[in-house]
Each structure stands twice: as C-alpha cells, then as structure tokens.
Structure 1
Amino acid sequence: MGSEPPEPGADDGATSAAAIDGGSLERGTIDLADVVGPFDLQSTLESGQTYLWDRADGAMYDDLGAHGGERWYRTVVPPIDGVSGERIAARVRQVGGVEDGVLEWEATTDATSVLTHLLRLDDDLESILAATPDLPVVERAIEAYPGMRLVRDPPFPCLISFICSAQMRVSRIHGMQRRLAATYGDALEVAGETYHAFPRPDQLAAASEEGLRDLSLGYRAPYVERTARMVAEGEAHPRDAATLAYEPAREHLTRFVGVGDKVADCVCLFSLDHLEAVPLDTWIRSVIADRFPECDRGTYDGTSRAIRDRFGGEYAGYVQTYVFHHLRSGGE
C-alpha cells in the first residue's frame, strides 16, 4: 500500500529478453457460491495491497474506488510451497455478483488452488467481518466494498514491491513493478500473449543500481539491489518470517535493506498470514489523528499495538485495508 504525495513522472523500462515458454492455456471456473463470504476481484486487486497483477486493458489503478468490475487480470506466479511446484501464468476475471458470481480463469495449468491461495478464497470472510469492531468508519468502508479480501502474495515480490512504495501513489508503485518485470524478469509467450514474470532474486541482484534508477526507482534502487542480493546469496529470505509470531516476524523483516516497520508490516499482512498487522501509512496515521488520538503512543510499536486493539485484534489488518481503500478513494 502506497503513501502520498506522488513523485514526478517516470519513463517506461525496456522490454525483457526472449520468451522462454510456449503452449496453450487451460480454462476453468470457481463458483463463488462455494466460497465462505462474498468476494470482489477488482477491489481485492486494486486496493493498494498488491502490485503483481496487471489488467489486460492497461487501466490498473486508474479508478480510485475500484470495485465490481469484470476485467481480466493476469500475473505470473512462482512455485508456492504446499500449493504448486511450478511457475504458472494465469489470468482471471469475475462475472456476476460477489455472492453468486464466478471466477473465470485461464492458465498454463489448473489454477484453482493457486488462485484460492493468492486471493484468500479460503478465508471465512463472514466470520472475519462479524468480528470487526462497531466503528462508523469501519462500517462505511465494509459497506462500500463488499467482498474485498486480503491478498497472499509471494514473499520476495511482495517485499520488493513495498520497498518501492515509500512516498509513492499506488499507480506509480504498480508501474515500477511492471517495469522491473519487463526489464529483468522472464518473458513467457503463452497462447499468443506475453506474460512478464517478476524477477527472481538472482535476476534483481545482478541488476546495476544505475539500471534500476533508469526505471525511476530513485533512492530505492540500492535498497532493491542489496535486498535482492541478500536473498540470492542465502543470507536471509522474507518467507522465513512466516514461521515467527507477528511482532518477531516484523522485526525479522527489518534486516533487509530499505525495510522499516511499515514496509515490514505490509509484507506480514499481504504475504505472510499475519492478519493482525496494521501498516501505519499516511492514511492510517490520519485516521488515528482524526478519530482515535488516544492510540497515538509516540512510537511505532506502541501506536501499532493500540490501533490493532482498536481495530479488533486478530483481524485488524482486514479492517485496516478496508479503511485504507475507502479513505484513499474519497470516502469519509
């Protein structure tokens, strides 16, 4: 999730090297009637949680109040422990309502389990929303975006995305990740379309700081290169934090270059299943100042604990994400 205000414009990066894969796409559907609680694809993917998907029409993040659309979204998913042993190129769209619609998918292999994992279709959203606190701003946010869920992004791409997020609008963060993929990631030619995979740690570690700056990463360029090198050389990996309790996990992630508490909280929440995490970005700090000043304890740790309690504890990250998207989109 991004921070405001925006930075100046950026140039597009160069296209990546030759394609590595070919073949056709399998097709299938996921019936949302079989999912516990509602689901809305557009608000889930365009609410500032993830920058690893793209819209086929090129309009990703153009609409601040994104929800309820039927556009195709596509991504390349690396192998996921316990879910998939291979890299998958996939695209998905939602047809119909948040309770009774379907997700139509096309992918290089059966994508049902991968999409269930990435889009948290395995969450009991009914129970999660029932556990949210009785606060007007929370109620308005949930009412505005029915079916929005958290994402479960792969740890390394998630980490890099949020290292790039400082002082950036979400559309600019997304553009950065697309340029990184197009310049340093693999290109997969599938059914006449090119899918750009997010770079592996070794691919980003081999990038020069100058090359990353050419993609408008600015001062973030050395952070990205050095963090990628840490992962590529086996010094540390963000997925290791998944086995830790929440606060130790956040602390573990701050060992990466360019990662403070807020970025670490984003990775905890949007990748590592720590659903209590509340990233203290510009919007949430404004909510604290305007509505819950008693939660401002003067330190990140203290304020984080206080607002987590105010937002309901176990699923405070869900509350945070609803409130963030609602306020960023002009809600009150």
Structure 2
Amino acid sequence: MEFETGAIPLSDIDGAFDLQATLESGQSYLWDRADGRMYESMDVYGGDAWYETVVPPIDGVSDEQAVVRVRQTDGRLEWEATTDAVPILTHLLRLDDDLDAILDATPDDSLLERAYDAYEGMRLVRDPPFPCLISFICSAQMRVSRIHGMQMRLAREYGDTVTVAGETYHAFPTADQLAVRTEDELRDLSLGYRAPYVQRTAEMVANGDAHPNDAVGLPYEDARDSLTQFVGVGDKVSDCVLLFSLGFLEAVPLDTWIQTAIADHYPDCEAGNYTETSRAIRDRLGGQYAGYAQTYVFYYLRAGGE
C-alpha cells in the first residue's frame, strides 16, 4: 500500500488556521508527531512537523479506515494518506468552520482577546466519538503528555496494524477490541484506576447498550447527561466529548484552568455546582460558541499566558 498525496491551500478556508496549536492544545490525544515530540512544549504555535493518525470510517465522510499524515507549510496543509484526505481533514480539523465569524460572535472581553491573539488559527477538533470518549476517561488528574501516551499504548497493543510505504501505523482499538481486554491488562499499560472504566465503557459500546453518538440531536444538557451513563464519565468528561467530538460548540468543560478563569476573571459565574456554573460561564462566553472561547482560554492559561 502506498500514500496518495495532496495539499489544501489555507486561502481556501474561512479564517486563520494553525495545525500545531490545534493538535497540541489538549483537545485530542489521537494524533502523533512523526518526530516523537508530541506535547514536548506547552507553548506550541506555528510549527511545520508531520502529524499522523489512523482514522476509522466516519459516517458521511469516509467509508474506510485511513492512515492520514499532515503538516502545515508555506500557506497550505500538505497531506499523505491511503485515500483522499481532504474530506477527512476538513472534518477532523473543522476546516469548514468560519473561524473569524465564530470568534466575532463571542463577547468583547480582554482575556478572550489576549487568548485569540496568542493562538491565532487554533480550531476545535472533531475526533471520532469512541476514541475521544476513552481518551477523556483517561484524562482525570493526568498531564496531557501522559494522556497521549496512554492512547498510543492502547493503539500499539490492541488496535489494528496498518503498513504503508514500509512504515507501520497503529489504529486506536475499536470497542470490540477493548471490551475483551482484562482490567489487569489495561492496568499494565499504566491506566491505573481508569482501567475498569475503560473496559466497562468499551463493553457497553461493544454490546450495543449505549454509544456516544446517541447524544447527537439531543438538547445540550440532555446530551451531557446521556454521556454520564458510561462508567467513569462525569459532567466534565461529558462536556469534553460533546465539544471535541460531537459538535456541541456551546459546551464548556469546567476543568482546573476554566475554574481558575472563573475565580480570577468571572467570579460572578461561580454558582456552587457544575450545572449552574456551567450555564453561567456559557452565557458569559457567548452561548452558541462558548466552547471555542473556552478552548482558547484553557490553552492560554495553561501555557502561562497570564
């Protein structure tokens, strides 16, 4: 098997784009850098490294598993893939978003303006739902580099192996592949107390008891509640999956950095519980696209912007 190649001119998309900021800002743990330096720096912006992933079939986008490699250089996204990568990259990297219009729809706010200026072109990702769900189950109390390492180990140990042009790539395991692993096997991959959560959630999906896609089409808070049926999933993890996979751009995960932003910049949004605080900060960040604003603030603060 060999790669097809191509390029997407960045002039063809609405608004700026930065690949490194998008893929290394803590939204997705399913891509890897070919040079082995994924998540090496917290202040990521404007690099030209190759990133690679194995993408499962995506409804309405691609009917087959695909190996995709991409880098940003000279005003374009160069790609290598086992199929036409343009629709896949457009989907995964939200190249179909009008970024300028989205950010213009969020409030005039000095913190947001500083974050937008610092990471111009950072977009949300649209990860495949099951891998995204497992990634964020693994995210509790972990640094981004360790979360990423867990997902890479799961792929190497239990996912499909694909060889292209003499190189080997590892797909993230399917629910069926993870459901048959034991808790001890998952603990051996350093998942710790998250191991039974991952195994049981995979089992629920494999058995047809539930799927993260079931949240699509529900009102936002109902969608968040629906994801908490998975083992190890609370409101924050639900919001991460809604935002970084399922297209709920109003979702605002209340992680440590957003709680810091609330305490330091929006103290009147603190309501004493997740549901009410979430409603308040969503309104403050503009409602419909609050998740975009949140992601910029999250990364700006995490990278030491304040």
Alignment partner, residue 194 of structure 2:
220
TM-aligned CA deviation for residue 189 of structure 1: 0.7
1:204-233 deviations in whole A, cap 9, x for unaligned? 001110010011100000000000000000
Q: Does 1:74 align with 2:52?
A: yes
- Per-residue deviation, 1:150: 0.1
Show the counterpart of 2:268.
294
Q: Does 1:208 align with 2:187?
A: no
How far apart, in 1, do the equivalents of 2:223 and 2:83 lie?
Answer: 33
Q: Give the one of 166, 171, 187 matched to 1:192.
A: 166
Structure 1 position 34, deviation (Å):
0.6
Q: Distance in 1 between matches of 2:218 and 2:43?
A: 35
Whole-angstrom distance in 1 between the partners of 2:167 and 2:285 = 43
Q: Report what 1:90 is aligned to.
A: 68
What is the deviation of 1:245? 1.6
Gaps of 5+ in 1: 1-22
Residue number among 217, 220, 229 corresponding to 2:203 in the alignment: 229
The residue type equivalent to 1:70 in the other structure is D
> Equivalent residue of 1:243, what SS?
coil
Once the two structures are TM-superposed, the CA of residue 240 in structure 1 deviates from its matched residue by 1.2
Percent identity among equivalent residues? 71
- Measure, in 2, the Cα distance between the counterparts of 1:198 and 1:47: 20
State the one-letter code of the partner of 1:106: E
Deviation, 1:165, is: 0.2
**Partner Cα separation in structure 1 for residue 190 and residue 262 of structure 2:** 32
Tell me which moved more, 211-220 or 132-141: 132-141
1:114 correspondence with 2:88: yes
**Residue 290 (structure 1) shift:** 1.2
Aligned partner of 1:32 in structure 2 is: 10
The gaps in structure 2 that reach 5 residues or longer are none
Quote the Cα distance in structure 1 between the aligned partners of 2:13 and 2:21. 17
- Whether 1:172 and 2:150 are equivalent positions in the alignment is no
Aligned equivalent of 1:276? 250
Residue 91 of structure 1 and its aligned partner are, at CA, apart by: 0.2
With CA pairs under 8 Å and 6+ residues apart, which has the higher RCO, 1 or 2? 1
Q: Match for residue 226 of structure 2?
A: 252
Counterpart among 84, 98, 103 of residue 129 in structure 1:
103
- Give 2:24's aligned residue: 46
What corresponds to 1:140 in structure 2?
114
AA of the residue aligned to 1:265:
D
Where does structure 1 differ by over 3 angstroms across 4 or more consecutive aligned residues?
none
> What is the identity, as a one-letter code, of the residue corresponding to 1:234?
G
Which secondary structure does the structure 2 equivalent of 1:234 belong to?
A: coil
Number of equivalences:
306
Paired with 1:315 and 1:175, the residues of 2 have a C-alpha distance of 30
Pick from 37, 43, 52: which aligns with 1:65?
A: 43
TM-fit CA distance, 1:293: 1.0
User: Aligned AA for 1:63?
Assistant: S
Give distance in 1, aligned partners of 2:110 and 2:192. 39
The structural deviation recorded for 1:185 is: 0.5
Output the amino acid matched with 1:282: T
1:159 Cα offset (Å) = 0.1
After TM superposition, the score normalised by the length of structure 1 is 0.92
